[in-house]
Structure 1
Amino acid sequence: MAIRILLFTQWFDPEPTFKGLVFARELVAQGFEVEVVTGFPNYPGGKVYPGYKIKVLQREIIDNVQITRVPLYPSHGQSGVGRLLNYISFAASILLYGLFRAKKPDVIYAYHPPLTVGIAAALVRFFRRVPVVYDIQDMWPDTLRATGMFSNEKLLKIVSSVCDWVYGHVDQIVVLSPGFKRLLIERGVPSQKIDVIYNWCAEDMVSATSSSSPANFPQTSKFRILFAGNMGKAQSLDTVIAAAELLQEQASQVAFIFLGGGVETSRLEELAKSKKLDNVFFLPAVPMPEVGAYLSCADALLADSTPFGHSAHADPDTCSTIIRTGSRSAATQGWHC
């Protein structure tokens, strides 16, 4: 009988995510029975995607992966209250579903961030006596402090204490880099409880399927550097805008292209407009299967992150993607690809 996995993740396809459908599909291919419990897609814009409507429950099957969508408050803007409601509403939904509706699994695989997913998973573990594997993709409260999302030290200490509680109430922890493992050991988590599993690049998702350029890709003779992904505070993209301004002043033949969305997108667009930059272009987010066409058109790909705090301990997913696409070069800040 197949081992049944209940996968808790707030973000899942068609939202951009590194351990979404590709990960669940491979688990199924390995012989596991997988049910993904996720929300209605609204990341990174904070608005529910076209074709979806928030309901009490929605089920779908994609590539033999059973997907159960539960209600949440859609939000991913600058509002701390909105973000908190987004996290808490989803955690409450998966807690109720995990306790009263889900067929009892053999193991729960919980994806962090946000921390609230870990809290819900730990509670389901307690009441249903099910082991939990906790996959940490972002180190809290370090990220919250580094990005300025929360600056209240008392609140950050509370978050840190809750993190410690979750670490103590899950059975195994997966991290994406040795740096994350070192941090957790420093915080009292036993070494044998932590496994390092590097994130990978889904080559079929980033490989160009056509030799022609996307219709909206800038046609210019300039050297085109592409940033593709979430545009949030952690990416520190003001630095890129400042670099574009310097290059324009020097009449350099370099252009920067931003592909994606996030809480900083509108502000960055306004910043580039206020500086009258004609070497900066913004393109809307596209589904993952279409990303490869954009990556292949660029002359270089950019991986960028705030060069302090938790980032020094992480290995960005973007780097593995850059390497696999075979781009001629990669410009980075705060990372070592």
Structure 2
Amino acid sequence: MHVLLISQYFLPETGGTTNRVASLAKGLQSKGHDVVVITAKPSHPEGVIWEGYQDDGLVRDEQEGIPTVHTWVYADFEKTLFTRLCSYLSFMCSSVLGAVRERGSFDVILAFSPPLFVGLAGWITARLLNAEFVFDVRDLWPDLAVAMNELNGPVKIGLARWLEHFLYHRADAITAATDGFCESITSITGPDTPVQRVMNGTEPEVFRRDEAGKKLRKEGGFDDRFVVTYAGNIGICQGLDHILEAADRLAEDRSGVLFRFVGSGPVKDDLQREAKRRGLDNVEFHPRVSLDEAAAHMAAADALLVPLADHEIYRSFIPSKLFDSMAAGRPVLLSVDGEARSILEDAEAGRYYPAEDGQELASNIRWMLDHPEACTEMGENGRNYARTHCTREAQAERMTAFLEELIG
């Protein structure tokens, strides 16, 4: 097969989306298929196009052996509805132009959402190039945007839902991250459109960094503390304020607990100001780092946080961070009910607490401090479960088989 992947986020940027798309591209290549990725010029999360990609035209290169075309995108650090729309619409247009300018024909156009406009770019490209259009859904939009209060008003929401239904009905096939997503999509498309669950998954060997974690603990001067780490995007949908509440509650009676944030995002400055206002000396903030360094920070932890905000929609989500945290071999503190909780409990890899509940988070950390042997066992359980059930390689094989069956 000749497969064109369209994703607004890809290497050399880091993050769950880029790593997953790269794993999928490599999986397709390993089965003998030709792959090209169309993506935006890197600008995330700073909102400025990176040096080396600032030319007006297309930038062609190889990212980890994957032929990649970087197209122009509107970039702005300020994340308002207007600036996001400008970013999404600019990439939608430039990605179609970039795809059409690529030489050769394609059998499949695989477009990754969110944002929804990437799906529209995929559909247009598939029609222009006479290829099958497969729509990959990682988050349910516009429901998520409404839940995050990024989208409001009946007209805006109505238009977004129209676009969502338009794309679902015109896709030749759809893949989605969870069973809940698949059920929601099938309720719109009916039974005639093939819908396949393909989870996010992880790369266990990337997160097996125990020695690097020990070194980081020693160098950081927190070798004798119980470290609770959140590593990832510091955004609205994660609902991170309650972590500071837990830190406040534990500051006096469990002074050995240290909370570490590793990453960047739109609410990081607010969290730092709130931590300073509360006078929390048991909270640290660290910059965004490469995947390899993030894995070391995760290995340096005694427990890893996987939170989402308190909203009904998140019960259908499985954060990719859950798989990475289990692969790191550390017990997980999860505040996502539904499928994610079922996976955690099936793996016996950590403890669940209600979303945005700082008191319950503090109580679970106290339990972990009092049960160190159980924590070690949960960490090993998670690592074994991730290696057996949740690898990106296995998910790439699942996607590849689905596309091969579609093409026949």
1:181 deviates by 1.0
1:246 deviates by 1.8
TM superposition outliers: structure 1 runs of 4+ over 4 Å? 215-218
Which residues in structure 2 correspond to 1:135-214 (within 5 Å)?
135-190=136-191, 192-208=193-209, 210-211=211-212, 213-214=215-216
Letter in 2 for 1:301: L
Q: Which residue of 2 aligns with 1:75?
A: 76
1:167 deviates by 0.7
Change (3 A) 1:216 1:116: farther
Residue 104 (1) aligns with residue 105 (2): yes
Counterparts of 1:189 and 1:309, CA distance in 2: 24
Change (3 A) 1:59 1:216: farther
1:320 deviates by 1.1
Seq. identity, %: 27
Q: Residues 92-138 of structure 1: CA distance to partner in whole angstroms, max 9, x if unpaired?
A: 10111223445321111111111110011111222222111111001
SS of 2:38's partner is strand
Letter in 2 for 1:49: W
Instruction: Give TM-score scaled by structure 1 length.
Output: 0.92
Q: Which residue of 2 aligns with 1:331?
A: 333
Which residues in structure 2 correspond to 1:276-287 (within 5 Å)?
276-287=279-290
Instruction: Give TM-score scaled by structure 2 length.
Output: 0.77
Kindly indicate whether the alpha-carbon contact (under 8 Å) linking 2:46 and 2:77 is maintained by their aligned counterparts in 1: yes
1:183 deviates by 1.3
1:82 deviates by 1.2
SS of 1:206's partner is coil
- What runs of 5+ residues in structure 2 fail to find an aligned partner? 345-408
Which residues in structure 2 correspond to 1:1-337 (within 5 Å)?
3-15=1-13, 16=15, 17=17, 18-75=19-76, 77-190=78-191, 192-208=193-209, 210-211=211-212, 213-214=215-216, 218-220=220-222, 221-327=224-330, 329-335=331-337, 336=341, 337=344
1:215 deviates by 8.5
Counterparts of 1:280 and 1:197, CA distance in 2: 36
SS of 1:257's partner is strand
Bigger proportion of residues as helix? 2
Counterparts of 1:248 and 1:208, CA distance in 2: 29
Q: Aligned-residue CA RMSD in angstroms?
A: 2.1
Counterparts of 2:312 and 2:3, CA distance in 1: 34
Counterparts of 1:209 and 1:330, CA distance in 2: 16
Letter in 2 for 1:197: V
- What runs of 5+ residues in structure 1 fail to find an aligned partner? none
Letter in 1 for 2:208: S
1:169 deviates by 1.4
SS of 1:35's partner is strand
SS of 1:165's partner is helix
Change (3 A) 1:95 1:192: closer
SS of 1:205's partner is coil
1:238 deviates by 0.9
Kindly indicate whether the alpha-carbon contact (under 8 Å) linking 2:58 and 2:98 is maintained by their aligned counterparts in 1: no
Q: Residues 259-289 of structure 1: CA distance to partner in whole angstroms, max 9, x if unpaired?
A: 1111111221222122221111111111112
| Aligned residues between the structures | 334
Counterparts of 2:265 and 2:167, CA distance in 1: 28
Counterparts of 1:288 and 1:45, CA distance in 2: 17
Q: Residues 312-331 of structure 1: CA distance to partner in whole angstroms, max 9, x if unpaired?
A: 1111111111221211x211
After the TM superposition, which of the residue ranges 169-178 and 41-50 deviates more from structure 2? 41-50
SS of 1:105's partner is coil
Counterparts of 1:284 and 1:191, CA distance in 2: 47
Counterparts of 1:320 and 1:105, CA distance in 2: 32
After the TM superposition, which of the residue ranges 255-264 and 47-56 deviates more from structure 2? 47-56
1:20 deviates by 2.9
1:218 deviates by 4.2
Kindly indicate whether the alpha-carbon contact (under 8 Å) linking 1:206 and 1:325 is maintained by their aligned counterparts in 2: yes
1:144 deviates by 0.4
Q: Residues 279-303 of structure 1: CA distance to partner in whole angstroms, max 9, x if unpaired?
A: 1111111111222211111111110
1:180 deviates by 0.6
Letter in 1 for 2:97: L
Change (3 A) 1:278 1:54: farther
Change (3 A) 1:326 1:191: farther
Change (3 A) 1:137 1:330: same
1:217 deviates by 7.2
Kindly indicate whether the alpha-carbon contact (under 8 Å) linking 1:46 and 1:77 is maintained by their aligned counterparts in 2: yes
Larger radius of gyration: 2
After the TM superposition, which of the residue ranges 128-137 and 56-65 deviates more from structure 2? 56-65
